[in-house]
Structure 1
Amino acid sequence: MEYKVQPVLWQDASEQLKTLRKAVYVLEWRLPESTEFDKRDSKAVHVLLFSEDNTPVATGRLTRGGEIGRIAVLPSHRNLTVYKTLFAALLRLADMHNIDKIHLQSELGSVDYHREKGFQPVGPVFMEAGIAMQKMVCQRQNFSYPDVRHIH
């Protein structure tokens, strides 16, 4: 299947972005909606992936500080092609914005995996929506596509 990629701003596509993220994080993962949306949404660049019938099936965001996050992929589209397409689009945006360090937030169980991929922990462990998380960073040129098992 071929996917269409579209970089979007929150102001222009918030309804589509909210729908995808609510489906994954609020309904599927049962996380509080209040933790899913934050002030950084309006300042970040987002990516939407559309299926062949023009239905939004995935999204992710890149903040001005270089953090990739809020990856939400509908269950029926969780495959390597979607994840690679989504991350490639986010990395192109990082290149366009001259971002040289990629940041992410990792669940504690995935920290070792990300270390093997060149990420280093930054700061203390913190809680987000009841989940222990660790901020991590790596040089843009060292970023490799994540294993899908460590995202959903």
Structure 2
Amino acid sequence: MNAFTIETVNWRHSKRRLKRLRDRVFVCEWRIPRQSEFDEQDPLSEHVLIIDSDGSDIATGRITPEGEIGRIAVISHHRGEEIYNVLYTALLQIAKEKDLDDVYVQCELDGVNHFESQGFHPIGSVFMDCGIPRQKMSCPVSDFSWSRVELTH
């Protein structure tokens, strides 16, 4: 198991670090337009940064005040079950501390079955976001378990 440091940060103090990581993953790698990647939810949300043993930021995610988990960005060579487990566990802990009843995700369609296996249920119709079909899904905080199934890549 790798050694990671997990930091809960806010946008105001960590904007440069969060933007650098999300730019690298979403804008450069996935070709998401920069104007679509950063939004009005960033200053309102709680963000998690995961730092490796060398002190490099390797992953981030956020949870909005309404409980939407998103902007999950992981540097490509760190993607795997362990890092996602650490990231989602930290975001779920924030949801519990805020006494949220439910958490939400907006996943790509190929991720729907994976999230369903973790206790999520689709909400509404499929929609397009930056040219990517997505499904909004909801899960009671008490039912969420990232470890129910292994990640497949």
TM class, shorter-length: over 0.9
Structure 1: segments with no counterpart, 5+ residues: none
Distance 2:62 2:100 in 1: 14
Q: Encode CA deviations 1:31-86: one digit per residue, 9 max, x unaligned.
A: 11111111000100000011112111110000000011100010121122211111
The match for 2:127 is 126
Identity %: 41
TM-score calculated relative to the size of structure 2 = 0.92
TM-score calculated relative to the size of structure 1 = 0.92
The match for 2:85 is 84
Structure 2: segments with no counterpart, 5+ residues: none
SS of alignment partner, residue 11 of structure 1: helix
Task: Please give the residue correspondences for 1:45-124 in structure 2 after superposition, counting only pairs within 5 Å.
Answer: 45-124=46-125
Cα offset, 1:97, TM superposition: 0.5
Q: Which moved more, 1:37-46 or 1:70-79?
A: 70-79
The match for 2:22 is 21
Distance 2:69 2:141 in 1: 11
Distance 1:79 1:112 in 2: 18
The match for 1:33 is 34
Partner amino acid, structure 2, of 1:103: Y
Q: Which moved more, 1:108-117 or 1:68-77?
A: 108-117
Count residues in correspondence.
Answer: 150
Cα offset, 1:125, TM superposition: 1.7
Distance 1:148 1:47 in 2: 20
Indicate the RMSD between aligned Cα atoms, in angstroms: 1.4
